[in-house]
A and B are shown apart, each in its own frame.
Chain A
């Protein structure tokens, strides 16, 4: 095959990137790619197209930079480079993604090191368990440009490839994480009270002249202090860190620091010891150690400020609640004097002491939630500051804030507070788009309650029939005969066995009756398509089906919930609870069924993921997810065709993996084509006429759960 010319390349690029729609020119890329072989050109086009499916600008940048990448990277590395950029796009947005594309040369240079190095993605799961096991305030591990912490999150570089051996790289990665944890736990980031609350280090630093020199010295002193403690408490970690330093060839202790080290080795040594010794040392500033982080004092300050404000509020509120539970009068509460003292705990040397709360010299037992809070406060201040010990009532504090954990709110670009974020499967990338779809539970509208009565009247005979056939499904006691074990003897079996025995034949040992309670134990989630295409009589048929099904289900003990779903782009996916699992079938539910109306589009994957999660919260042995739909999954953005079907299929696979049985009832006559791909050959039913839907749905349900 001959290589494509510039003009041909321009055409192809236009085609795969759909550049003309966004007024970007393929010219630059086409020029750059023209000198390459056809095979290389095709590779560049292939990856550009994949990237363009996420965002056309990323695709265009890939096509431009492919010329740089092709000589430097194998196809595999190139794929990683593209996915790296797409991952960044999903998590952080367009700009960082394009930056990542542009730094193609750096990526290629690091690619080799990456092969023997240890990366963030492969280790984060294990390291976050490790970190949590170590104790102290929960630290969130995130991927960052460099190694640093803000005292709530720890940022690790995306990979470490410093050493030849993979295991050494892993030990280095772990040692870096341990440094961040230890600084938080062993009091490097101690806070001081004041307006505003700040770290002891920044308070001290504000009066220093040579800040650069002082920080370099202080950081090394702190690392020495931490390693001394680690040697005592975690000898294994200390050994590993020491070995790394020897491999790199930088000693932990610079010459001439012996006296300082002796002071730091004291059991009582703290940040203050380091600050004290700093001025007594001279010489050159020590070089960076391989596991040393880059201090971001301002970031720690601002995180600590926000945290201490929140924690103080929570703590004072909890004290108030405790006083309230002790039934003190208002005045007593105002004067309630809380104190604390350190618990004696034998030989255990911990940086954060266990404390006991006292009220009027009597120890009081704080609730569980308070223990973690107390430890976090002591981790910050080394004590419970006296300002914290005054109870403050709920008038001044919103306990909701307690429940909301900072890490629950997505830290990315979108700040979708209170919404659920779900990954979406991108079939062409064979990868998830992380936190892609934003879903909210909306209040369902109330409709005309008469609708239900009218429907029941309309299908009077059917309702009666359904009830009867559903009642036949109810749980019942089952008497199992001829069992090996059981509550009482099965006389028939005994007589037979005796007869056999008399005849000299072998006696059966199945002589018992067993009482088995046959328990249906089914939970069903009905997922109702509320997309715009259901407008009119499809919607009526859906609502009537729901009414009939509810009437029939009331004859059974099955737990059921009904949720409508609709959406408009990934940012506005919505589900409407018509009936939750915990709600009884009452007037409000009837009105909500009547109030179901067609909305926007059908973004199915995210709805399936959300409703599966809800379904898994229901206690039952069998869980069914039934979708009532009128067509393919489809949304106004790129959620169409194959992409939409693959995502829906993946969402259903995820559901199946958790033990949910999905089933689809549709009126789309062309449904066979895609439904068997999504739901499996036995996982769907096509109802051939809309007006038959009400007759069919309840019956299908009955047959499904027989």
Chain B
């Protein structure tokens, strides 16, 4: 086990350059006022629609370090708050990422919060209301959050599983911002800006994404996200033929069903 978890590292995740982000609605203003009012935020939206990029952009804008935790189903409260480790024959308390963000006044972003274990949610509750404290049972401490601290969680309501539903007691603590795929024009602009692909190809990619989104629910769990379009466009810029780029960058990434892969391939062949 790596006992040299450097205490400084995470606090030093400052974003120096402006991450490219195109506002779809009023999310930037909303985020800023929620932040100024010390309200925690919940970002909802399908995968690859720009939630993480938005967070980077906001961290840059507000000039705060961004601490991202990707939640998984084995993530326990200790993983967030901290634990005792053995250092040189002694036990020593090491803060978890959440505790570090709380101390240093960073923005803690818990990505895909529903994936975390249910008992993990409970530790974020006192942080997510006006108390803004992190109870650290094992050291007998109540950590009061720095004024600049902010907590943001994200989740994808597209997963229609009862087990992966956010509890009311959790969700009713947050200001929620809904994200969706950008409009066709905006999405085209994003692809051009991110990859430098020509406008016609970008437009075709957007049209292609729309076609895959038509298939959502009848064979595909999700349509192609903006992220996948960016991938395909990058491949195209490096000289891969559009149909191959769409197949490798989008079609194969979306599904394993051979009929569906073939159909997606035909759809891209229809456009290029």
Binding site for B on A (CB under 8 A): 125-127, 129-130, 132-135, 174, 233-237, 240, 345-348, 484, 486-489, 494, 497-498, 501, 509, 511, 515, 619
B57-77 residues at the A interface, CB under 8 angstroms: 76-77
Q: Measured between C-beta atoms, what is the minimum distance from B72 to chain A in Å?
A: 12
Q: Among the listed stretches B48-56, B124-132, B145-153, B210-218, which one makes contact with chain A, having 4 or more residues with CB under 8 Å of it? A: B210-218
Q: A235-B272, A487-B77, A487-B78 are in contact. Are A133 and B211 (CB under 8 A)?
A: yes
Chain A neighbourhood of B91, CB < 8 A: 489, 494
Q: Known pairs A132-B215, A174-B266. 12 more at Cβ < 8 A?
A: A130-B267, A133-B264, A134-B211, A134-B214, A135-B214, A233-B207, A234-B271, A237-B270, A347-B185, A486-B78, A498-B89, A619-B161
Interface pair B271/A127, CB less than 8 Å apart: no
Is there a chain A Cβ closer than 8 Å to B260's Cβ? yes
Q: Give the CA-CA distance A74 to B263 in the complex, in Å.
A: 34
Give complex CA distance A487, B82 in Å: 9
Which listed residue, B76, B203, B270, touches A487 by the CB 8 Å rule?
Answer: B76
C-alpha spacing A482/B180, complex, angstroms: 45
Instruction: Identify the closest chain B residue to A127 (Cβ).
Output: B263
Q: Looking at the complex, which one of A126, A134, A497 makes contact with B259 (CB distance below 8 Å)? A: A126
Q: Which of A126, A134, A348, A484 contacts B184 (CB 8 A)?
A: A348
Interface presence of B84 (CB below 8 A) = yes
User: Please, how many angstroms separate the alpha-carbon atoms of A303 and B126 in the complex?
Assistant: 60
Determine whether the beta carbon of B267 is less than 8 Å from that of A134. Answer: yes
Q: How far is the CA of A288 from the CA of B82 in the complex (A)?
A: 76
Interface SS of chain B: helix, strand, loop or mixed? Answer: helix
Bound: A371/B211 CA distance, A? 17
Q: Are A487 and B83 in contact (CB under 8 A)?
A: yes
Q: Are A235 and B138 in contact (CB under 8 A)?
A: no
Nearest A residue to B269 by beta-carbon distance? A236
- Residues on A with C-beta less than 8 A from B207 are 233
- Interface code B71-103, partner A: CB below 8 Å = 1, 0 otherwise? 000001110000110100101000000000000
Please name all residues of chain A whose beta carbon is closer than 8 Å to the beta carbon of B260 when the two chains form the complex: 126, 129
Which chain B residues lie closer than 8 Å to A498 at the CB level? 89
Min distance, Cβ A119 to any Cβ of chain B, angstroms: 14
Tell me how many residue pairs across A and B have CB atoms closer than 8 Å. Answer: 82
> CB-CB < 8 A to A129: which residues of B?
215, 218-219, 259-260, 263-264
List 14 A-B pairs, Cβ < 8 Å.
A129-B218, A129-B219, A134-B214, A174-B266, A234-B271, A236-B268, A346-B184, A487-B77, A487-B83, A488-B138, A497-B86, A501-B89, A619-B161, A619-B162
Q: Would you give the shortest CB distance from A475 to chain B, in whole angstroms?
A: 13
Q: How far is the CB of A353 from the nearest CB of chain B, in Å? A: 14
Asked whether B214 lies within 8 Å of A346 as measured between CB atoms, the reply is no
Please name the residue on chain B nearest to A130 by beta carbon.
B263
SS class, residues of chain A in contact with chain B: helix
CB distance from B131 to the nearest CB of A (A): 23
Q: Is B262 an interface residue (CB 8 A)?
A: yes
Separation in Å of the A349 CB from the closest CB of chain B?
Answer: 11
Q: Are A133 and B78 in contact (CB under 8 A)?
A: no
Neighbouring B residues of A235 by C-beta, 8 Å = 271-272
Residues in chain A near residue B78, CB distance under 8 A: 486-488
A236 touching B215 by the CB < 8 A rule?
Answer: no
Question: A345: which B residues are within 8 A, CB to CB?
Answer: 184-185
Set of chain A residues within 8 Å of B269, measured between Cβ atoms: 236-237, 240
Q: Which of B236-272 contact A (CB under 8 A)?
A: 259-260, 262-264, 266-272
Q: Are B211 and A135 in contact (CB under 8 A)?
A: yes
Q: B83 and A133: CB pair below 8 A?
A: no
Shortest distance from the beta carbon of B207 to any chain A beta carbon, whole Å: 8
Residues of B within 8 A of A133 (CB): 211-212, 214-215, 263-264, 267
- Among residues of B, the one whose C-beta sits closest to the C-beta of A491 is B91
Q: Which residue of B lies closest to A234 (CB)?
A: B270
Which residues on the A side are within 8 Å of B86 (C-beta)? 489, 494, 497, 511
A129, A346, A487, A489 pick with most chain B CB within 10 angstroms = A129
Q: How far is the CB of A518 from chain B (nearest CB, A)?
A: 14
Q: Does B163 contact A (CB under 8 A)?
A: yes
Q: How far is the CB of A254 from chain B (nearest CB, A)?
A: 26
Residue of A nearest to B267 (CB): A133
List chain A residues, Cβ under 8 A from B215: 129, 132-133
